[in-house]
Structure formats: C-alpha cells, structure tokens
C-alpha cells in the first residue's frame, strides 16, 4: 500500500525500476474524495525519457471533474512521437472511484492494447491495418503520478484546481507489472520475455496465452456495454478537431 499526493508546492509519483516491452500492468487505485477539478492521476507507460522526439505512450488518466465531484476516465495512445495526434476516449464511471480501490489495467502485446477497469474492457486498440503505423512498439517504463492539470483536465481548463481542498491524496495497492523486461541498460536491444511479476497473484504470462491474444465473447459484450453506456467522447467522432480523420477511424 502506498499513497501519492498533490498540494500547492508539488505533485508526486512512482516509476518502475525496469522497462517493459509488452505485458500486463495493473494497479488498484482509490482516488481523492471531494472537490477535485483540475487534478490528474495517471497510470501509464512511456519512454519519453529515452526517446524525447519519437516516444510511445499508453495512458489511463483519471481526471478530476466539476462541482458535482465526478471523475472521468480518459484513455490515450501515442506512438513514435505523434503527440499532436492524441487518441483520447473519455468515459463516465459507473461507480464512485473515491469510495474504495478499483483496478485499472493495461494489456499491451503484439496483438492489441486493451484498457480495463475492474477486469471490464473499455477500449481495444488492435495492432493491424491502419492501426499498425500508430502502434506503440518500443520498451516503456510504468508510471503512477498525480499532478496539476488545471489548464486542460476539467472542461478544457474551465475549472482549475482549488488548493483550499488540498492535499489531494490517492491510495495505491496491488501493483502488478508482468511481461517482457527490457535489458537495454545491460545490452542494447535485449529483451527478456520471462515473466517478471511484482505481485503475489498468480496470473498467466501476459505475453503468451489465448486470453491475451483476443477478447472473449463475454469480454466483447462487456466492452460494448462500457462504450455504449459510459463513453462520452472519442477522437474518432471529433470532426471539429480533425478536418481529416486519423486513418484508423475510417
């Protein structure tokens, strides 16, 4: 169990000791209660430190919301430095994410990226067709951070953080990072695909196994439910932002 906090002087966060090239990554997170506009808690993979001009990133961003105290789940994917073309999708929660810990998970392998909340898939980004050119491909570190996103996070910056409600403290538990560890610090371009798990749970290897290649019928049903009932924004429907839609949206 650990806590990370944001106050007027600083945010905070954690980073993995190892880089990973594909795997299963999960954290149980309890979000700060109360007025939270402008607060961003991110659980994500990135290699921006090693590839500042062509980095990859896979994001779960939990965005503090307006005076109704609602939080929003945002997922995003960048590949090869395409930071000008974020691939955001936003969801309302179907539970109170401040009441107890909930599981936020990412599957990333050669087949697809899948975002899950409490084992319910909310988004699948396949590595095929038009998607393949914008698919994250380089080893990444795992991060959990909390920070001030006042300029964009809540209604495009309409509601900045009110530090009268600080500190904003999030609780983390049951972190899991399983998959192919990159050994580039020892030998360039070296990847070890033996399971490296930082959890006491016994899961199948995330890189191999049918359950990580494609979604089951039950998962597809759950995915359709999450997207039809809770998704309120997709970059693929934002015609005011994209005069020409990204190729994977067509």
pLDDT at position 183 is 64
**Nearest CA among 59, 22, 57 for reference residue 40:** 59
How do residues 144-169 score in pLDDT, each as one tens digit?
Answer: 999 999 999 888 888 899 999 999 99
For residue 125, the model assigns a pLDDT of 95
CB under 8 Å to 7, separation ≥6 — which residues?
163, 166, 167, 168
- Residue 247 confidence (pLDDT): 85
- State the pLDDT at residue 133: 82
248 is catalytic: no
What was the pLDDT predicted at 89?
97
Tens of pLDDT, residue by residue over 220-240, are: 999 999 999 999 999 999 999
Name the one residue in this structure whose structure tokens are 């994917």: 77
Structure tokens at 76: 């995003």
Q: Which of 57, 89, 176, 248 is catalytic?
A: 57
Alpha helices for 133-214 (secondary structure H)? none
Positions in the chain short of pLDDT 70: 66-69, 81-85, 183-210
Q: Hey, where are the domains in the chain?
A: 2-249
Contact criterion met (CB below 8 Å) for 44 and 55:
no
Write down the pLDDT at residue 235: 94
Q: Choose the catalytic residue: 61, 124, 176, 248.
A: 61
What the block records as the tokens of 179 is: 């998959």
Chain centroid offset of residue 231 CA: 15
Question: In this predicted structure, what is the pLDDT of residue 222?
Answer: 98
CATH class of 2-249: mainly beta
Provide long-range contacts, Cβ within 8 A and 24+ apart, for 85-88: 85/134, 85/246, 86/235, 87/125, 87/134, 87/235, 87/246, 88/233, 88/234, 88/235
């Amino acid at each position: 169990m650990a806590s990370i906090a944001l106050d007027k002087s600083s945010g905070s966060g954690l980073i993995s000791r190892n880089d990973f090239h594909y795997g299963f990554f999960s954290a149980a997170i309890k979000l700060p209660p109360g007025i939270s506009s402008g607060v961003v808690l991110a659980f994500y993979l990135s290699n921006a430190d090693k590839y500042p001009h062509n980095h990859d990133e896979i994001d779960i961003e939990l965005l503090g919301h307006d005076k109704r105290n609602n939080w929003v789940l945002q997922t995003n994917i960048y590949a090869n430095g395409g930071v000008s073309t974020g691939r955001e999708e936003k969801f309302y929660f179907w539970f109170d994410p401040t009441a107890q810990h909930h599981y936020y998970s990412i599957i990333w392998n050669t087949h697809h990226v899948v975002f899950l909340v409490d084992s319910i898939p909310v988004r699948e980004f396949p590595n095929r067709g038009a998607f393949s050119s914008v698919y994250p491909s380089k080893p990444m570190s795992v991060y959990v951070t909390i920070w001030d996103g006042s300029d964009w996070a809540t209604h495009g910056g309409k509601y900045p953080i009110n530090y009268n409600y600080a500190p904003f403290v999030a609780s983390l538990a049951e972190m899991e990072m399983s998959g192919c560890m990159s050994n580039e610090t020892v030998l360039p371009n070296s990847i070890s695909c033996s399971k490296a798990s930082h959890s006491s749970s016994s899961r199948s290897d995330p890189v191999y196994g049918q359950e990580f290649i494609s979604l089951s019928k039950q998962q597809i049903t759950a995915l359709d439910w999450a997207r039809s009932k809770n998704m309120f924004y997709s970059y693929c429907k934002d015609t005011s932002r994209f005069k020409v839609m990204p190729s994977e949206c067509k």
